[in-house]
Structure 1
Amino acid sequence: MMENIEETLKLVEITDTTTTTTNTTTTNNQEVIIINEKKEIIINENDIEEGRDLDNESGRSLAYFERILKLEAIVGADVIEIATVLGWRVVVKKGLYKVGDPVVYCEIDSILPPWQYFIDDKMDSRGFKIKTIKLRGEISQGYCIPIKELINHPHKKIKAVYKEEEDNNNETIVHLLDEDSNEKIPIEMGRNLTDFIGIKKITEYVQIPRNVNGSNRKAYTFPSFIKRTDQTRIQSVPHYFDLHQDLLWEVTEKLEGSSITVFKKGKESGVCSRNFLIEDFQGSDIHQAVIEDLDLLNRLSTIDLNIALQGEILGPKIQGNIYQLRKNYFKIFDIFLIDSQRYATHDERIEILNSLKLTPSDHMAPVISNSFSLKGKTLSDILDMANGFSILKESKPKILREGLVFKSTSTIGSVNQSVVSFKAISNQYLLKKK
């Protein structure tokens, strides 16, 4: 049985077989040509550890330049302290950084490469994995790397260019220079360093899927006209508390499952995992939950809308079955409006589900609130709110929920309208999971 494709694909080969379709639409009296390239991907179970980082195909930034905003002492600790980066609190070596220092911040769910610096820092004892941990009573989320350590990159020849080239004691690095490629890497806050360092995303519950006849399964590149599912953690966007305090928010439970997208665009329709279009899922968990139980592709063909239903498949063989379910379920958390290239609001989502004859309360992620406000709230308030038990109807009682997802109930922007969203992961859940 096939579970989360992102957690099972490991070695991938792009074949020479490519199908290209061209669609022409007219927007504001301008002709727009959309070319969709479909590349076949062969799933092979050999060389499991040597495939590209399939779970991070969306290009999520796992490491980037940021600044130390605050340093706090830890009671009873002589060699460590708490650093604040964006909204994250990270345990660091005492005296290693000053407030305002630029650093490389690595997010939780990252796997560091086996650099000597990380080995010296005992990260090898954790499998080089960055997870939520508790040290001396303090929660630590993430990992900080001094920028100077990038000069010791084991696979690149990196030179530091200082503010005053003739005075290397100045200690102010303007940019890094890859002397082999001559690429400049400026010290810009937020610059993505995931690939530069070689960081991967933690992948759990690996199982290689097979077809009924024993052959490898096939998948294709994710449709370019659909946005991949991903939510920014609130710790990475603490400015939202000021910027969006006047918005009202829909709050839903974040479900721990396998991300699936079911779409229809014109005469084209299909089912995708988080990063791939899947065509041969007969006899899989996906087929049972999406096709056998809900008949979603046929339902989509009955409405005159180009949309993508995005949700989580939950079930006995998926993500450790934390909800202790007896069968598979597909719970919709978003609907992407393909023609307008934005996500539907809560009210639009309800209207679309009703038109598909899907009862929202049965087929959506559990709704906590339809009119939540960030006004007067702090980061600690939201993280505390994320803790608690799942209210999924089918879940066993007293199961810790993964967290919450917040989406604005209205769109923002006068030209390119969009729904603003973020997630808050429960620290209780993260600490128990580790």
Structure 2
Amino acid sequence: MSSRKLVSVQEITNIEPIEGADRIEVARILGWRVVVGKDMHLKPGDRVAYFETDSLLPAYDPRYKAFQARGQKTMIVGSMEITGHVLRTVKLRGVYSQGLIMRLDELGFRYTPPVGTDITDKANVLKYEEPLPMGGAQIGRFDAPCSKSDAPRLQTLTDHWDEIKTLKAVPTVKVDGASTTLSMDERGQVHVYSRNWELDSMSSNMRLAKRFQLDKMLWPGMAVQFELCGPGIQSNRLKLPAQRPFVFAVWKDHHKIDRDQWPTGMPNLAVPELDENEWALTGSVDDMIAKVDGLRGNVTKDRLDEGIVWHLREDQQLSEGLANELGANRCFKIINNKYLTKNGL
């Protein structure tokens, strides 16, 4: 899967009551739980449009007019400024609700597409991104010898859970920052990227990478991906005293390599690695999500961690379906629900 399906056609697998609630209930979709109104009259087997969290519902689109009163954010896309409501994780009557369910006819569909169909473009939805701490200019599109860093959440992989549990995976802490890619081309020139853009040498991302000498650890055809964290970035939710990189992936010629193959120096700047036995992939998807809920203290003492990313070891064969879902990144994540709700994410 080359890009995240923000809006897709999915089937409701179950409807669950909420204790003491007369007007709302929980709809289960894949591994997600979504609080919905009983007046929607949803039932198992219904196909609906499912919107993932981080979806920005544009204010100019009349289909989303009713959502704008719940709060708006503005994002710069190219030369355009787009305002809309952003879907976040919320807790209602003690239940985490993640995402949004709408009927397909509300989006203008006169037919029912197959389950799994990506309808992000037809829904006119964008992924909300917080402003970049660039201090420089965008000079081109993302063109690094690696994939963009956007691991799918385990909730979207429920159909592959039995296979995932048989695989070897390295659990690492997901660190909240501005994702950055640094690469060296075949001529030895270093480039820096954030999200979809290449940034110039004056960007904060490049200056920090050079301060920690990440550029000197690369060789041609290599890329390193890290979270730029600290004061002035993503509200510095981890309360770090100074800006620093947390390396989470290293690539050689579009191939992600295991940590024991990283160049000297990079492991010293890596995101924290967790105990493989403690965080073995066992039980149900719900069990794993509940276990991550409340994770804290692995980056900053006593502070909540954003979550966990499991990186599959490279010497393993995956089914075609799972390989397509994970792409070349070969990793997936669970985000800490307590972290999301505490920070309004």
TM-score bracket for this pair, using the shorter chain length? 0.7 to 0.9
Indicate how the Cα distance of structure 1 residues 207 and 225 shifts in structure 2: closer, same or farther if over 3 A, else same.
closer
Q: Which stretch shifts more, 124-133 or 415-424?
A: 415-424
State the partner residue of 1:373: 280
State the partner residue of 2:316: 412
State the partner residue of 1:388: 295
- Asked if the contact 1:313/1:328 (under 8 Å) is kept, the reply is yes
State the partner residue of 2:124: 198
1:247-326 correspondence runs (5 A): 247-267=167-187, 268-281=189-202, 284-292=203-211, 294-301=212-219, 306-326=221-241
Indicate how the Cα distance of structure 1 residues 117 and 298 shifts in structure 2: closer, same or farther if over 3 A, else same.
closer
Q: Is 2:29 aligned against 1:110? A: no
State the partner residue of 1:142: 99
Q: Distance in 2 between matches of 1:297 and 1:201?
A: 30
Give secondary structure in 2 for the equivalent of 1:188: coil
Give secondary structure in 1 for the equivalent of 2:310: strand
CA deviation map 1:35-66 (0-9, x unaligned): xxxxxxxxxxxxxxxxxxxxxxx843211111
TM-score by length of 1: 0.68
Q: Is 2:36 aligned against 1:92? A: yes
Pairing partner for 1:239 from 159, 180, 200: 159
Q: Is 2:343 aligned against 1:433? A: yes
- Asked if the contact 1:113/1:197 (under 8 Å) is kept, the reply is no
1:346-357 correspondence runs (5 A): 349-354=259-264
Indicate how the Cα distance of structure 1 residues 260 and 229 shifts in structure 2: closer, same or farther if over 3 A, else same.
same
Pairing partner for 1:424 from 328, 334, 341: 334
Q: Distance in 2 between matches of 1:414 and 1:112?
A: 35
User: For residue 307 of structure 2, what is the amino acid of its counterpart?
Assistant: G
Q: Which structure exhibits the higher relative contact order, with contacts defined as CA atoms closer than 8 Å and separated by 6 or more residues?
A: 2
Indicate how the Cα distance of structure 1 residues 222 and 207 shifts in structure 2: closer, same or farther if over 3 A, else same.
closer
Indicate how the Cα distance of structure 1 residues 414 and 112 shifts in structure 2: closer, same or farther if over 3 A, else same.
closer
Q: Distance in 2 between matches of 1:275 and 1:207?
A: 11
User: For residue 295 of structure 2, what is the amino acid of its counterpart?
Assistant: G
Task: Give the share of equivalent positions with the same residue, in percent.
Answer: 28
State the partner residue of 2:76: none
User: For residue 54 of structure 2, what is the amino acid of its counterpart?
Assistant: D
Q: Distance in 1 between matches of 2:146 and 2:266?
A: 24
Q: Is 2:71 aligned against 1:126? A: yes
Q: Is 2:251 aligned against 1:336? A: yes
Q: How far apart are residue 92 of structure 1 and its match?
A: 1.0
Q: Distance in 1 between matches of 2:213 and 2:127?
A: 33
- Asked if the contact 2:193/2:199 (under 8 Å) is kept, the reply is yes
User: For residue 112 of structure 1, what is the amino acid of its counterpart?
Assistant: L
CA deviation map 1:184-241 (0-9, x unaligned): xxx022222222121122233x378555xxxxx2421111642111100011111232
User: For residue 295 of structure 1, what is the amino acid of its counterpart?
Assistant: Q
Q: Distance in 1 between matches of 2:118 and 2:306?
A: 26
Q: How far apart are residue 275 of structure 1 and its match?
A: 1.7
CA deviation map 1:83-142 (0-9, x unaligned): 00110000112152121111000001112134555444x553233221111112211101
1:38-117 correspondence runs (5 A): 59-94=3-38, 95-114=40-59, 115-116=61-62
Structure 2 stretches lacking a partner, 5+ long: 73-84
Q: Distance in 1 between matches of 2:132 and 2:222?
A: 31
Give secondary structure in 2 for the equivalent of 1:223: coil
Q: Distance in 2 between matches of 1:218 and 1:409?
A: 34
User: For residue 7 of structure 2, what is the amino acid of its counterpart?
Assistant: A
- Asked if the contact 1:409/1:419 (under 8 Å) is kept, the reply is no
Structure 1 stretches lacking a partner, 5+ long: 1-57, 152-157, 161-172, 175-186, 212-216
User: For residue 147 of structure 1, what is the amino acid of its counterpart?
Assistant: L
State the partner residue of 1:402: 306
- Asked if the contact 1:412/1:420 (under 8 Å) is kept, the reply is no
Q: Distance in 2 between matches of 1:208 and 1:324?
A: 17
